[in-house]
Amino acid sequence: MILRLLFIYTSLYHSWCVYWECSYFFDNFTEKKVSILIPAYNEERSIKKTIESALNLDYPKEKLEIIVIDDGSKDRTYELAKKFASIKNPVIKIL
């Protein structure tokens, strides 16, 4: 019930802001820098798709930081993430 009311309130507020061209709330929200932490252990099969999903977010790339944390994987998770980071995007860090 509370979630439904919150959703309705948010929808109404957004509609009101669109109608009156009020973008204060949404502009301030996107100004924040966001870090996405991706813990990985033996994720050779899915690490590329996971990083791509994070990069495809509808968020300003200059405000986005993706950190892949490899926990001593015994497969090629670290190598694939490192290769992907160097080729695709400099905002990806591998630990």
Q: What is the pLDDT of residue 78?
A: 93
Tokens encoding 72: 């001593």
The conformation of residue 1, written as its DSSP 8-state character, comes to -
Whole-number Å distance between alpha carbons of 24 and 33: 17
pLDDT in tens, 47-81: 999 988 888 888 888 888 889 999 899 999 999 99
pTM here is 0.64
Would you tell me how many other CB atoms lie within 10 Å of the CB of residue 87?
A: 8
What percent of the chain has a predicted confidence (pLDDT) above 90?
26
**Contact (CB, 8 A) for 38 and 54:** yes
